[in-house]
Amino acid sequence: MDFIAIGDTAVDEFIKLKEARVNCDINNQDCTISMKWGDKIPYEFSVLVPGVGNAANAAVAAARLGLSSGFVSNVGNDRYGEETLAAFKKEGVDTTYIAVNDGMPTNHHYVLWYEAERTILIRHEAYPYVIPKKFVPPRWIYLSSAGERSEAFHGELAAWLVAHPETKLAFQPGTFQMSMGKEKLAPLYAATELVACNKEEAERILGIGETNIKELLEKMRALGPKIALITDGPNGAYAFDGTEMLKITMYPDQKPPVDRTGAGDATTSTVVVALAQGLPLREALLWGPVNSMSVVQEIGAQKGLLTREKLEEYLKNAPADYRVESL
């Protein structure tokens, strides 16, 4: 197998809000959304999307871009679990390592969607986290969001990676993994080929306040990974491999974004897929924002993910100023 993602999956239920107000600070940051409390609030429509999550999105991205892809995760023995497995099989993602848990529901998240942004109400069920029996080492593992019961698993995976140097790890820390702290995850960071997060997450992982990108890249790489990749919304993405610091701008939107869910996942997972296909870091960085641009044109984090043929078509037609630059 070329690529196996590890992490939680869920069904996302998108609720398109009709009446709300967004309030931001003077820098258009730290935004909150307001709705009437104790009232009935109309919404436009809702959409259920099975088989999503950071790692799940990465598995689908890899499959569409031509890698043999699998997924290590958990679902409940319920309708949503069945829909999730069917969604992965339809995408060509191997489901051998997805455990079906009796007596437990499938993770179900609610996405409050207003204009192009969203807030997600999340709940992770207390699934057991184990390295599957007869787990065949892939060329790349992509690890992301896992629940609170997964702490011991991270140590087990770090030891497994040391014993299987033929497998490279891409690590995109999720909420709980960030809250575990960099000290507990030190063995895992040391076994990581590429760590990926956004700017605010890097500051949280490192336990520091507002910091410039260059310093963040240096400090994230100092945790142990060979490559640090940091996304920064409309400012693009940045990478550091110990030799040079690189920047790539956003690929221009073809039309106004519909939903920004999964934009960061698309960038980071696509860069990893490109590296897994043997591309150098400079070229891999060009791939990421193209898939991100496409994802935000659709509802959910997966519908807009591109095939390699379509992605290369966008690269061929990219504007002249879409290029990787040194920081």
pLDDT digits (tens, 9 = 90+) for 103-133: 999 999 998 988 877 888 988 899 999 999 8
The two beta strands, 69-76 and 98-101, are parallel
Give 240's strand partners.
228, 245
Kindly list the distances between the CA atom of residue 123 and the CA atoms of 16, 198, 247, 316, in Å, as whole numbers in the listed order: 20, 22, 35, 41
* pLDDT average, residue stretch 20-47: 86
> What digits encode the pLDDT tens for the residues 55-92?
999 999 999 999 999 999 999 999 999 999 999 999 99
Q: Give CA separation, 129 vs 10, 181, 227, in Å.
A: 15, 19, 27
- Split at pLDDT 50, 70, 90, the class of 317 is very high
User: What does the pLDDT read at residue 118?
Assistant: 81
User: What pLDDT shows up at residue 250?
Assistant: 93
Distance, first Cα to last Cα, the chain: 35
Helices (H) and strands (E) in the chain, counts: 10, 17
Q: Which amino acid is at 176?
A: F
Q: Which residues of 8-25 are buried (b: 16+ CB within 10 A; e: fewer)?
A: bbbbbbbbbbeeeeeeee
Q: pLDDT over 90 for what percent of the chain? A: 75
Model pLDDT, residue 258: 76
Q: What pLDDT does residue 82 have?
A: 97
Distances (CA, A) of 180 to 38, 190, 207: 36, 16, 12
Query: Does residue 232 surpass a pLDDT of 80?
Result: yes
Q: What is the pTM of this model?
A: 0.90
Give tens-digit pLDDT for 135-178: 999 999 999 988 888 999 999 999 999 999 999 999 999 989 99
- pLDDT per residue over 243-297, tens digit each? 999 999 999 988 887 767 668 889 999 999 999 999 999 999 999 999 999 998 8
Angle between helices 281-295 and 308-316 (to 10 degrees): 100
Name the more confident of 120 and 322.
322
Q: Mind listing the domains of the chain with CATH numbers?
A: 3-8+51-105+128-326 (3.40.1190.20)
Phi first, then psi: give them for residue 293, nearest 5 degrees.
Answer: -55, -40
Q: Annotate 83-103 with b (16+ C-beta within 10 A) or e (fewer).
A: bbbebbeebebbbebbebbee
The span from the CA of 236 to the CA of 55, in Å, is 21
Confidence check: pLDDT of 222 > 80: yes
Summary mean pLDDT of the chain? 93
Question: What does the pLDDT average to over 24-50?
Answer: 87
Q: Which pLDDT does position 173 carry in this prediction? A: 96
The predicted structure's pLDDT at residue 259: 66
Sign for the pseudo-dihedral over CA of 216, 220, 223, 224: negative
